[in-house]
Amino acid sequence: MSDVEVGATLASRTPSGRDCLQWRSRGQMQMHAADRKVVRIPIIDGDPIRQGGQWQNRLNRHGLYFWQTTGTHVWYESALEASCLAVLDQSGDVQRICAQPFRLLFRTESEQVWHDPDFFAIHYNGDQVVYDVKPSARMNHRTQVQFNETARVCEAVGWRHVVLNEPAPVLSLNLKFLASSRHLRCHPPAEIVERIHDVFVGGRTVQEGREMINRRFPALAMPFIRHLLWHRTLITDLTARLDFDSILTTASASEEKSCCT
C-alpha cells in the first residue's frame, strides 16, 4: 500500500500486514500506509473516525470545547479530555486540533490490533502531535503496550505522540475560572492593554492592580485581567491558587504571543 485507498467500512485489522491508518474524509473512508507521506495529507480536515454513543445516566460526559483560533468546536468524551483540551488551549502552542482523527491499524506481529487516538494537533512550530488521554489509574499493561505501539507508528510517520494524564487539580480550577474570559469579547481596548502592562510590569497583586486600572469600579477590570492571563500576556504561577493576592507580571518579549490568535 503506497497511495490513498478508498473504502466503505471502518477496518479492524490491517489489510496488508503492515502498519497503516484509516481516516474519514467527506463521507468516505481513506487508508494509507503509515509512512512519511502521511504528514502531507490534511488528515486534520477530516471527520471523526468514530463518535461515542449517548445514553441516559452514562458515567462519562460528552461535550464540545470551543477552539477560538479556528472558531470550531472540538468533541470530547470525558471530563478529563475537556480538562486536557483547556490545558492545551491555554498553553498557546496548538494552532489546530481535532478529535478522534483516525484509526491506527498495527502490523500483524503487534500485540495490539488497532487504536483510535483521542486528538491530533498541529502546533504553531509545525509539529504534528498525536494525543492520547488516559487517567493515571487506568495505565495498565495493555494500555501501555497500546501506547508504545502508537508511539512507534507515530515516529515512523514523523509525528510526536504524547500521553496526557490528569492535570494538576489547582491548574484545572484556575483554567476553569479564566476560561469564560478567553474570548474576543473580553479583549481590552489598546489603551487599556497599555495601562494594564504599565501596572503589572514590575509585579503586582491582582487586588492592587485592578484598583489601579479602574479606581472607581475595580471589578470591571477583572475580565480584562483574566483574558490577558489566559493568553499569557500576563504571567503568574497557575499551579498555585489564583486569588486577589496572586502576583502578576507581564510576559517578556520572547514569551509573549499574539493575543486571541
CA distance 50 to 101: 8
CA distance 7 to 19: 17
Using alpha carbons, select from 89, 118, 88, 90 the residue that is nearest to residue 103: 118
Strand partners, 105: 20, 114
Are the beta carbons of 22 and 11 closer than 8 angstroms? yes
pLDDT (0 to 100) of residue 155: 97
Domains and CATH numbers, the chain: 5-164 (3.40.1350), 169-250 (no CATH)
CA distance 11 to 30: 10
Tell me the pLDDT of the chain (261 aa) as tens digits: 445 555 556 777 788 889 999 999 988 999 999 999 999 999 999 999 987 776 676 777 889 999 988 889 999 999 999 999 999 999 999 999 999 999 999 998 888 899 999 999 999 999 999 999 999 999 999 999 999 999 999 999 999 999 999 999 999 999 999 999 999 999 999 999 999 999 999 999 999 999 999 999 999 999 999 999 999 999 999 999 999 999 999 998 645 566 765
Beta-strand pair 160-164/234-235 = unpaired
pLDDT (0 to 100) of residue 253: 63
CB burial readout 145-173, b (16+ within 10 A) else e: ebbebbbbbbeebebebbbbeebeeebbe
Are the beta carbons of 86 and 175 closer than 8 angstroms? yes
pLDDT (0 to 100) of residue 41: 95
pLDDT (0 to 100) of residue 112: 87
Are the beta carbons of 43 and 120 closer than 8 angstroms? yes
pLDDT (0 to 100) of residue 2: 44
Are the beta carbons of 35 and 4 closer than 8 angstroms? no
Q: Could you identify the residue written with the cell 492571563?
A: 229
Q: Which helix (H) or strand (E) holds 95?
A: strand 94-99
pLDDT (0 to 100) of residue 170: 98
